[in-house]
Chain A
């Protein structure tokens, strides 16, 4: 079985700027994959290369085994891309835009599926509205809809939730999750790291055009961040010598202590008791992707 996406040694320069510096990446069919990185890391460029909007200087890309240059028609038929920029055609209504997009993909009568997409993206009562008259978040939903008209097995979403309200964001993810369960491969970029953490099974982190971390979400969380113990000591008490080096930043009287695993809590509490420190408040912080992201970007 071909991987949903295969990227081999892709390099792309814009003038002097190295946007992609030899990216290798494979995404298996059925994955829910996250592509993360700071602004300008090269995420959109990589997606554009996959979609044939940008031609790499070196390297090859394939969608379900079809080269995006040599076999571009097959590759594009298998790929649905939600672009990052909020673009729309002001001449048409929502339904017209979706019909036209279906036609571009060679589908003549697509009404049933268009209705289903509209339903899931909560656009039913906007179907006849001209694109110009939609709010930003609604235009974004239409972009998602347009990427799905041809039921692509591989769906790439470049920041699909930027500017979308909470309710719809949840509805959108429920819909995308369902598509993923039905076998569609999903690739997602987002700056909302909680989103990526809860959705993606595997994550690649990009920095200045290179992949600096690539692993399952669970492994990344385990590898780069442990639990954190947040303590608030009674006023006037000082933490014992043994812990002082491990404590960091008293924010509003609260001190944080990094743990490698949960069992260490016991010894920390014992040390505090021995030193006669009274606790006002204690909280265990779970590892999160944001922390991993920051650590990876500092290091990589």
Chain B
């Protein structure tokens, strides 16, 4: 347990020490999205009855920050350790692969959570939100952070160089998050793209998260919860297997 505790603490300390880059910068990016999109679209788009576009947008942006930063945390930590070689410091000790997985993923959830709270805190200056179901909000944030933290572990282990990680991020993570209904309700899409969206797990994360604020959603929240939990379970099993066989970490 002490091994897990220390690795988790080290992973949190790692991003906290460079908080300007890892927390402040992404909060600012999200605020810029919010200012631009809400200014341009506020008067043209209404998604849910009685919910302004800006209010609709905020939960999506918060969730997007949680997801992207959770992914960034585990993946960048692992790739940096691999490239600089200091990964040996965690490979030499008697840390089990379960502890290894849990420490990286939990630290990712914490980073995602801190950034998400930062975005939420700042946007409260501009918009009023309902808080219909705080537990749904928390639950989806944790599941989302966990899913992306695990994907970050996979990407960090798989990549040998920074550009491979960038490719993973640009071709998988970014499309999944941008095409998930952060900026729109999928009901405003043509039927074909609505169908496609249902294959994107991030769509369920954002939809469920939004439900926690407004009490309305595109699909029932329990469905979203089931999809998210299923994804996390599958990714967990896959990542634990990679760690157990030592894929790319132990030659």
Contact = CB atoms under 8 A, between A and B. Distances in A.
B251 A72 contact: no
Contacts of B18: 91
A81 interface: yes
Interface string A94-106: 0000001111111
A146 interface: yes
B88 A83 contact: yes
B88 A88 contact: no
A89 B95 contact: no
A55 B251 contact: yes
B2 A91 contact: no
B10 interface: yes
B2 A52 contact: no
B6 interface: yes
B10 A51 contact: no
Contact of B250 (A52, A74, A107): A52
A76 B99 CA distance: 15
Nearest to B99: A104
Contacts of B7: 103-104
Given A55-B246, A55-B251, A76-B94, A103 B88 contact: no
B14 A91 contact: yes
Contacts, number: 78
A53 B91 contact: yes
A106 B95 CA distance: 9
A53 B88 contact: yes
B64 to A, nearest CB: 27
Interface string A128-160: 000000000000000000100010000000000
B223 interface: no
Nearest to A76: B94
Contact of B94 (A73, A83, A102): A73
Place the interface of chain B in its size category.
Answer: 20 to 34
B21 to A, nearest CB: 12
A52 B93 CA distance: 10
A85 interface: yes
A290 to B, nearest CB: 31
Contacts of B2: 103, 106-108
A53 B251 contact: yes
Place the interface of chain A in its size category.
Answer: 20 to 34
Contact of A146 (B14, B85, B89, B96): B89
B3 A106 contact: yes
B250 A54 contact: yes
A145 to B, nearest CB: 12
A177 interface: no
Contacts of B5: 103
B43 interface: no
B170 interface: no
Nearest to A86: B85
A87 interface: yes
Nearest to B18: A91
B86 interface: yes
Contacts of A102: 6
B10 A100 contact: yes
A102 B3 CA distance: 9
Contacts of B88: 53, 83, 87
B9 A103 contact: yes
Contact of B95 (A88, A104, A107, A150): A104
B8 to A, nearest CB: 10
Contacts of B9: 100, 103
Interface in A43-83: 48, 51-55, 72-74, 76-77, 79, 81, 83
B251 A85 contact: no
B137 to A, nearest CB: 32
Contact of A53 (B95, B96, B250): B250
A89 B251 contact: no
Nearest to A54: B251
Given A87-B85, A89-B86, A51 B13 contact: no
A105 B94 CA distance: 6
Give me the 9 closest cross-chain CB pairs, A-B, nearest first: A103-B6, A104-B93, A73-B94, A87-B85, A76-B94, A106-B2, A87-B86, A89-B86, A54-B251
Given A87-B89, A90-B84, 12 more contacts: A51-B91, A52-B91, A52-B250, A54-B251, A55-B251, A83-B85, A87-B86, A87-B88, A103-B9, A104-B3, A104-B89, A106-B3
16 contacts: A14-B251, A51-B91, A52-B92, A53-B92, A54-B250, A73-B96, A83-B88, A87-B84, A87-B86, A89-B86, A91-B14, A100-B6, A104-B6, A104-B7, A104-B95, A106-B3
Interface of A: 14, 48, 51-55, 72-74, 76-77, 79, 81, 83, 85, 87-92, 100-108, 146, 150
